[in-house]
Amino acid sequence: MKKNILILVFICFTTMTFAQVELRSLTVENLSEPIGIETKVPRFSWKLTSKKRDVKQTAYEIQVKEGNKVVWSSEKVTSEKSIFNKYQGVSLESNTKYAWQIRVWDNKGNTSKWAKSTFETAFMSSNDWKASWISSGLKSDTVNGNVPMYRKTFSVDKKVVSAKIFVTSRGLYEIQINGKRMGDSYLNPGWTSYSKHLQYQTYDVSNLLGKGKNAIGALVGSGWYRTHLTGEPKKTNIFGKQTALLFQMVIKYADGTQEIVVSDASWKTSNSHILYSEIYNGEIQDARLEQKGYSTASFNDDKWTSVVLKDFPIHYITSAINEPVKKHEILKPIKVLTSPKGETILDFGQNLAGWVVVKIQGTSDDKIKLSHVEMLDKSGVPYFENLRTAKAQATYILSGNGIETFEPHFTTFGFRYVKVEGVTGKIDPDNFTAVALYSDIKKTGSFETSNPDINQLQSNIQWSQKGNFLDIPTDCPQRDERLGWTGDAEVFSRTAAYNFNVNQFFSKWLIDVAADQGKDGSVPFVIPNIFLPEVGFSLPESAAGWADASLIIPYNMYVTYGDKELVERQYPSMKAYLNHIRQIAKNDLWNTGWQFGDWLSYRVDDSNDEIGMKSAITDNYLVAQCFYVYSVQIMIKTATLLGKTEDVKEYQALLERVKKQFENEFMTPSGRLISETQTAYILALQFDVLPENLRPQAVERLVKNIESYNFHLTTGFLGTPFLNPVLTRFGRNDVSYKLLLQDTYPSWLYPIKGHGATTIWERWDSKKPDGSFQDPSMTSFNHYAYGAVGDWMYRTIVGIDTEEADGAGYKEITIKPQIGGDLAYAKGSLETNYGLLSSVWKIENGKFIFDVEIPVNTTATIEFPTEKIETITEGKMNLNAKSKSARFGSGKYHFEMQL
Ligand code: BGC
């Protein structure tokens, strides 16, 4: 009897705990337990989990404490809002640790336990900076010269409770404390529009300090700050001539006192063993010159000289809001090759951005040189030409003292193959490890199908994202470019947001978009803008599809993450850009100025006229007018969201006029466009530019065009992202799948089937069908733009998407898998701001078997891919479906149906 009661109690207890709503993933400003929060109103987010279905948050309560003092209690707030809840307590203090806790109530009568987390503030005011900018003042400290080292000793005599370092540089820094490298991030402080926006990072170094004498060491390399950033090696020092360091350490002692150690005239400096360090060309290190132990207290710095103080501004420096660059995948060579010229080449099997760590034993003066390339030519010789002027080399001169380890400090390379010179004897591939470096954005998406080629395409898209999300979104990671091209980021931003959480990444970059915007609202081609008149550039600005990144990306971030504050912050910039287009357009027709148009669309002369058809050139101003329409549509949605009713009215009227002008200028009365290209019809359909009654025939023309190329795409950067979405939306999903599965040039799978590509190429035929390369002046093998099809793959094949407006950020979800392409299964998931959303289906004997997970606190509308709705079951019970689609609350579901 007693035993039975016990069992009953146990069952009740376990069901009670299972029924319980629980909390996880507590973040402040999108970061978990951040230590450098500077915003006065940080935003709190959390995720709910529950074993039950249909669970929603009905209320929450947040408490924030500093020590034992409650600085904010929200009390119980009746609300479903579980993301971006703003702090409303007393003003936050600088450099202070806050503990916060949250509990929620759900619609099933449960209350969660308190979940706890922390955040720490950085400097809440620029007055907190007590440090001075220091430079080496060394003659050799120039753009092509030696990388200077800095050092400083200090004493710790009391018990330390916390020690934090706040640091930035003009140039790139690396810090050591008592002989240990500080932190696990690289290329800090990252790349921003340095003269207007510079970030500092915060590090907790409490564990690195010891009692007695301590030492700090620092290296400051030229980085993006002053090495040349275009194919013109003479155009150096774009942001300034002199690198410098700004450093402040705050040590808090157990007795309640604190002490600061700052960069000032007492620091000393010397040349380092890094003889040369440059973004495109690489690095040269001479281990014979290494001053070992330079960041330890006992090091003798008698020969070092005093630093020079600089009065560079401090007031505009802000705490970093994005994830720093870190080391990620580690790859070993899969082959050691010998080229016909006798060169030794390591093949890492994957095109990536990062560097190679070399662990080697040799004799003093041995000089090991690694040259990085993406490709070998037909005969197996490393292909350097597409790097243009970038040397992409790492050179290490050995000291001869035992096993030595080398890796660069302030540069990266885009490569799959490395040519190795200078190793005596047989190469041991084990001595070489490739490391992928990219921003520490968290992986959110997964995608897999029964077709290995599509899976490889997905892998290539993700690798091109990894290769180009290096603090800013770059076009490519290898040649003498690697710039924040706005158009590339714009077309890829939605796909990027499926694969990784890019909220903070883009939030930081968009600060620079606004900062670099002209007074007239124009937006430069690249952000940070390096095409500055001061360095002799004079370029046109605001090209369609490129400059509109300034409003498309903020809006996409709102849609994906529900980050309203981001669009609020960007709104003045978005509005200024639209006004700029209104100024340059005549009578609402954008027909002036430089345009890239549908960049890199199919051209006959590109690959020996493989498919025997005409070049697909779309009128540049037709493209521009479509993007004008798109921009106005985004502004209507954004202004509506922000309650700017006057703007909404104005933009609605503008939209009608801009569309009308499109018809007047680019369309015959029967709906034929002046450019008979895929891109022309795609853009006109995607943005609803065509009158409704003319859309069906436009779809027909589009499909005819695709057929005339024997089911090949011919789109460039701007048409490609919308090609499959338009076909699917207008009922031709069959054609979308045909294009996706096409594997001869031009197509997404051609690089994979034809040439074993492991990243997305810049051109459809960066390598031609005959194995030769495209024009080396512009042929990259790691350019994510065409990978924008990834967005359609998630939205259509596995069918996961979010509603916009009030349902943004996956609060209101749509799940609508659309089958095709003979796929037997597809699995996809996305870690949303509410939790894991997944859609997994397979087809077996005419049956569609479908597993779905909907995060707590969200609702999903599922559309089933069958007409036989009477056969739909869920967990063995007939659903009695009234239509193909129905709304579901959170939870896991198992559906089956006949197709
Ligand atoms: C870049 C692009 C960029 C383009 C603009 C190229 O050199 O690599 O991807 O968008 O210039 O036309």
Q: How far is the CA of 238 from the centre of ligand 1 (A)?
A: 20
Whether the predicted pLDDT of 46 surpasses 70: yes
Confidence of residue 621 (pLDDT cuts 50, 70, 90): very high
Whether the predicted pLDDT of 109 surpasses 80: yes
CA angle at 25 for the pair 23 and 31, rounded to the nearest 5°: 145
* 846 Cβ contact partners less than 8 Å away, ≥ 6 residues apart: 898, 899
Confidence of residue 541 (pLDDT cuts 50, 70, 90): confident
What is the token pair recorded at 171? 């140039």
* Minimum CA distance residue for ligand 1 atom 11: 485
CA angle at 762 for the pair 541 and 191, rounded to the nearest 5°: 55
Say what the pLDDT of residue 611 is: 61
Confidence of residue 604 (pLDDT cuts 50, 70, 90): confident
CA–centroid distance for 580 within its chain = 27
Residue 736 corresponds to which amino acid?
S
**Short-list 711, 645, 721, CA closest to 687:** 721
Q: Which atom of ligand 1 is nearest to the CA of 599?
A: 12
What is the token pair recorded at 366? 């041995």
**What are the C-alpha distances in Å from 396 to residues 227, 306, 365, 677?**
20, 29, 9, 52
What is the token pair recorded at 9? 């109690």
The predicted-structure confidence for 846-892, as pLDDT tens digits, reads as follows 999 999 999 999 999 999 999 999 999 999 999 999 999 999 999 99
CB 72 within 8 A of CB 87: yes
Mean pLDDT of the 577-588 span: 96
Mean pLDDT of the 75-84 span: 98
Whether the predicted pLDDT of 4 surpasses 80: no
Question: Ligand 1, from 599, 601, 774: best to mutate by most atoms within 8 Å of Cβ?
Answer: 599
Mean pLDDT of the 612-630 span: 93
- Strand duo 198-204 + 317-319: pairing: parallel
Q: How far is the CA of 200 from the centre of ligand 1 (A)?
A: 30
Whether the predicted pLDDT of 533 surpasses 90: no
**Short-list 769, 745, 781, CA closest to 375:** 781
Mean pLDDT of the 701-712 span: 96
Whether the predicted pLDDT of 543 surpasses 50: yes
Whether the predicted pLDDT of 827 surpasses 60: yes
Task: Give me the helices (H) in 687-774, please.
Answer: 695-708, 720-729, 733-741, 750-755
Q: Which atom of ligand 1 is nearest to the CA of 475?
A: 9
Task: Give me the helices (H) in 236-299, please.
Answer: none
Say what the pLDDT of residue 17 is: 45
Q: How far is the CA of 305 from the centre of ligand 1 (A)?
A: 44
Task: Return d(Cα 283, Cα 393) in angstroms, integer.
Answer: 7
**Short-list 325, 314, 294, 321, CA closest to 170:** 314
- The reported pTM is 0.96
* Minimum CA distance residue for ligand 1 atom 12: 596
The predicted-structure confidence for 549-573, as pLDDT tens digits, reads as follows 999 999 999 999 999 999 999 999 9
* Minimum CA distance residue for ligand 1 atom 7: 778
CA–centroid distance for 680 within its chain = 29
Confidence of residue 606 (pLDDT cuts 50, 70, 90): low
Q: How far is the CA of 239 from the centre of ligand 1 (A)?
A: 22
CA atoms within 13 A on the CB side of 704: 9
Say what the pLDDT of residue 350 is: 98
Q: Which atom of ligand 1 is nearest to the CA of 476?
A: 8
844 vs 13 pLDDT, higher one: 844
Q: How far is the CA of 446 from the centre of ligand 1 (A)?
A: 29
Task: Return d(Cα 352, Cα 344) in angstroms, integer.
Answer: 20
The backbone torsions φ and ψ at residue 568, rounded to the nearest 5 degrees and listed phi first, read: -60, -45
Q: How far is the CA of 484 from the centre of ligand 1 (A)?
A: 10
The binding-site residues of ligand 1, defined as CB within 6 angstroms of any ligand atom, are 475-476, 481, 485, 487-488, 596, 599, 778, 783
Say what the pLDDT of residue 5 is: 47
Whether the predicted pLDDT of 11 surpasses 90: no
Helix (H, G, I), strand (E, B) or coil at 14: helix
* H or E stretch at 791: helix 789-792
Q: Which atom of ligand 1 is nearest to the CA of 778?
A: 7
The least confident of 199-208, 226-235, 447-456 is 226-235
Say what the pLDDT of residue 605 is: 74
Say what the pLDDT of residue 837 is: 98
Say what the pLDDT of residue 16 is: 45
Q: Which atom of ligand 1 is nearest to the CA of 596?
A: 12
Question: Ligand 1, from 475, 492, 779: best to mutate by most atoms within 8 Å of Cβ?
Answer: 475
Inter-residue long-range contacts of 50-54, CB under 8 Å, 24+ positions, other chains counted:
50/19, 50/20, 50/21, 50/22, 50/106, 50/108, 50/110, 50/856, 50/890, 51/18, 51/19, 52/18, 52/19, 52/108, 52/891, 53/889, 53/890, 53/891, 53/892, 54/107, 54/108, 54/889, 54/890, 54/891
* Minimum CA distance residue for ligand 1 atom 3: 485
* Minimum CA distance residue for ligand 1 atom 9: 475
CA atoms within 13 A on the CB side of 244: 24
Mean pLDDT of the 3-22 span: 52
The predicted-structure confidence for 737-773, as pLDDT tens digits, reads as follows 999 999 999 999 999 998 999 999 999 999 999 999 9
Strand partners, 413: 354
* Minimum CA distance residue for ligand 1 atom 8: 475
Distance in Å from the first CA to the final CA of the chain: 53
Question: Ligand 1, from 388, 468, 485: best to mutate by most atoms within 8 Å of Cβ?
Answer: 485
- State what percent of residues in the chain have pLDDT above 70: 97
Helix (H, G, I), strand (E, B) or coil at 696: helix
Q: Which atom of ligand 1 is nearest to the CA of 785?
A: 9
| Residue 643, burial from CB neighbour count under 10 angstroms (0-12, 13-18, 19+) | exposed
Per-residue DSSP letters for 412-446? -EEEEEEEEES--SS--GGGEEEEEEEE-PPB-EE
Write down how long the chain is: 899
Per-residue DSSP letters for 653-686? HHHHHHHHHHHHHHB-TTS-BSS-SHHHHHHHHH
Mean pLDDT of the 688-703 span: 97
Mean pLDDT of the chain, nearest integer:
95
Say what the pLDDT of residue 19 is: 56
Task: Return d(Cα 475, Cα 762) in angstroms, integer.
Answer: 9
Q: Which atom of ligand 1 is nearest to the CA of 546?
A: 10
Q: How far is the CA of 197 from the centre of ligand 1 (A)?
A: 24
- Residues labelled catalytic: 481, 762
Say what the pLDDT of residue 233 is: 86
| Residue 209, burial from CB neighbour count under 10 angstroms (0-12, 13-18, 19+) | middle
Per-residue DSSP letters for 303-322? T-EE-EEE----TTEEE--S
Say what the pLDDT of residue 609 is: 56
CA atoms within 13 A on the CB side of 78: 1
Confidence of residue 612 (pLDDT cuts 50, 70, 90): low
- State what percent of residues in the chain have pLDDT above 90: 94
Q: Which atom of ligand 1 is nearest to the CA of 487?
A: 10
Q: How far is the CA of 475 from the centre of ligand 1 (A)?
A: 7
CA angle at 171 for the pair 307 and 184, rounded to the nearest 5°: 105
Q: How far is the CA of 598 from the centre of ligand 1 (A)?
A: 11
Task: Return d(Cα 262, Cα 265) in angstroms, integer.
Answer: 10
Q: How far is the CA of 173 from the centre of ligand 1 (A)?
A: 29
E-strand stretches of 597-651? none
The predicted-structure confidence for 356-405, as pLDDT tens digits, reads as follows 999 999 999 999 999 999 999 999 999 999 999 999 999 999 999 999 99
